[in-house]
Amino acid sequence: MINRRHIRVKVMQSVYAMLHSYNDDIIKEEKFLKHSILKMYDLYVLNLLLLVEVQKLAAKKIALSKKKILATKEDLNPNNKFLNNKLINLIAESVSVEGYVELNDLRNWEENDEYVKIIYDQLQNSDLYKKYLATEADSYKVDKTFVIDFFKEIIAPNEKLGEYFEDTMISWSDDIPFVNTWVVKTLSKQKENAIFVLGKLYKDKDDEEFVSKMFRKTVLKNTEYELIIEEKTPNWETDRIADMDMILIKMAVSEFLNFPSIPTRVTINEYIEISKDYSTEKSSYFINGVLDKISKEFVENKKIVKIGRGLL
């Protein structure tokens, strides 16, 4: 499921796009924001589905080998360990996966089967695959460990697959690392005798509402928050502050004022960490200093009122 940090990143991207396009259609931009999060779920399902498609291709290859005129003993008696992989079969038999694919017409691997072949060829030539086939133990634990390693070592780092995802949807370039982690967690949690069910997109209704509220509050109060930042950075001209730094600070200010259940220190730490990936080398220090000043003043003036978890 999408976590709060990645939600903040998605909101940050939409705020940046809106402010730099001089577009004031907040409803349209909010719809695109939500759409990009929903499409991230497609990326999650496609990665899981790729495991099944590679297995299907392996089954076809084995079936063709058996029909050779000069079929070898190995062709006639193939190692079916991969075809019988218990975890991949759970995914293949999942009503949850099948329903999502049908509902969203997710036919990417049928229309772009060259990527299935690329992953299949890489798997076939890997030591990971050879070692797995040579393993005598037939257990769910062995199958599960192999599938997780298959994903982590072959699928996730494949550059051609990554380029395909980025070309398919521009927002996926930032989603790939998060989704890869999500897939590994899903595979790791799957129990042997349990039906495979896709993970939820949002943890709860609060997280889903956090998307819209965070985006709207930041955009609608943009000018007000900019004045607050200017007061705390008297030695800086506004245009000298990195655009992304300004947006991250504005979002943090929005959290201070509009989200009473989020502790102030959590907010500051989150935007410091995001800045390390999306802004300049020194941004984290700058953002920490500015937010520390703003938060202290807000607490003193009782503008920040925290309740529940926000008090911690």
The whole-number pLDDT of residue 311 equals 61
3-state secondary structure at position 77:
coil
d(CA 104, CA 260): 37
> Could you tell me the sign of the dihedral formed by the alpha carbons of 229, 233, 239, 242, in that order?
negative
CA distances from 288 to 80, 270, 294, 302 (A): 56, 10, 10, 20
The whole-number pLDDT of residue 106 equals 96
d(CA 133, CA 137): 10
Tell me which residue of 259, 216, 246, 173 sits closest to 30, measured CA to CA. 216
Question: Is residue 76 very low, low, confident or very high in pLDDT (cuts 50, 70, 90)?
Answer: low
The whole-number pLDDT of residue 123 equals 98
Average pLDDT, the chain: 93
Domains in the chain, CATH or no CATH each: 4-189 (no CATH), 205-301 (1.10.940.10)
Tell me which residue of 90, 66, 96, 91 sits closest to 78, measured CA to CA. 66
Tell me which residue of 58, 13, 60 sits closest to 37, measured CA to CA. 13
Residue 308 has pLDDT above 80, yes or no: no
The whole-number pLDDT of residue 237 equals 64
Q: Taking CA 215 as the corner, what is the angle to CA 212 and CA 219, rounded to the nearest 5 degrees?
A: 140
Residue 80 has pLDDT above 90, yes or no: yes
Residue 309 has pLDDT above 90, yes or no: no
Question: Is residue 239 very low, low, confident or very high in pLDDT (cuts 50, 70, 90)?
Answer: low
The whole-number pLDDT of residue 71 equals 64
Question: Is residue 312 very low, low, confident or very high in pLDDT (cuts 50, 70, 90)?
Answer: low
Average pLDDT over residues 225-245: 84
Record the pTM.
0.90
Tell me which residue of 251, 230, 231, 249 sits closest to 239, measured CA to CA. 230
The whole-number pLDDT of residue 23 equals 77
